[in-house]
């Protein structure tokens, strides 16, 4: 059986085993991530570098690339966008989560053995 995280975040290049779930929880549920990831989401390079552990520091560029290519544009970039995402203003996060859940359901249905 497929795992939702593996399916939805299959292009997780450079994300550690603990950064990926934090990103998923932020994107899907609006959970406030740790200080490092919050700084990355807000596009605050100085804070991200200072708050990164060695693994996230080494992969900071890859994490940012992942966000640019895979995260919804409304979910990151500055304080206003991040706050709006967490608060689910205009149901923007709900729309994203619903889209991901539907895609995962279709994936499971298409890959069921006959």
Please provide the DSSP assignment of the chain as one string: ---HHHHHT---TT--TTHHHHHHHHHHH-----HHHHHHHTT-HHHHHHH--HHHHHTHHHHHHHHHHHS-GGGSSSHHHHHHHHTTGGGHHHHHHHHHHHHHHHHHHHTS--
Output the pTM of the full model: 0.82
What mean pLDDT comes out for the span 14-35? Answer: 90
Domain spans, the chain: 4-110
pLDDT above 70 for 10 = no
pLDDT in tens, 28-72: 999 999 999 999 999 999 999 999 999 999 999 999 988 988 899
pLDDT band per the 50, 70, 90 thresholds, residue 73: very high
Given this model, what pLDDT does residue 106 score? 82
């Amino acid at each position: 059986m497929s795992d939702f995280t593996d399916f939805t975040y299959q292009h997780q290049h450079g994300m550690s085993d603990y950064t990926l779930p934090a990103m998923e929880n932020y994107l899907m549920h609006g959970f406030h991530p740790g200080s490092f990831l919050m700084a990355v989401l807000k596009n605050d390079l100085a804070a991200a570098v200072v708050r990164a552990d060695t693994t996230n520091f080494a992969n900071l560029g890859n994490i940012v690339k992942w966000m640019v290519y895979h995260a919804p544009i409304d979910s990151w970039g500055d304080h206003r966008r991040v706050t709006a995402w967490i608060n689910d203003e205009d149901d923007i996060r709900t729309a994203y989560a619903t889209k991901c859940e539907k895609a995962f359901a279709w994936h499971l249905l298409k890959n069921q053995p006959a």
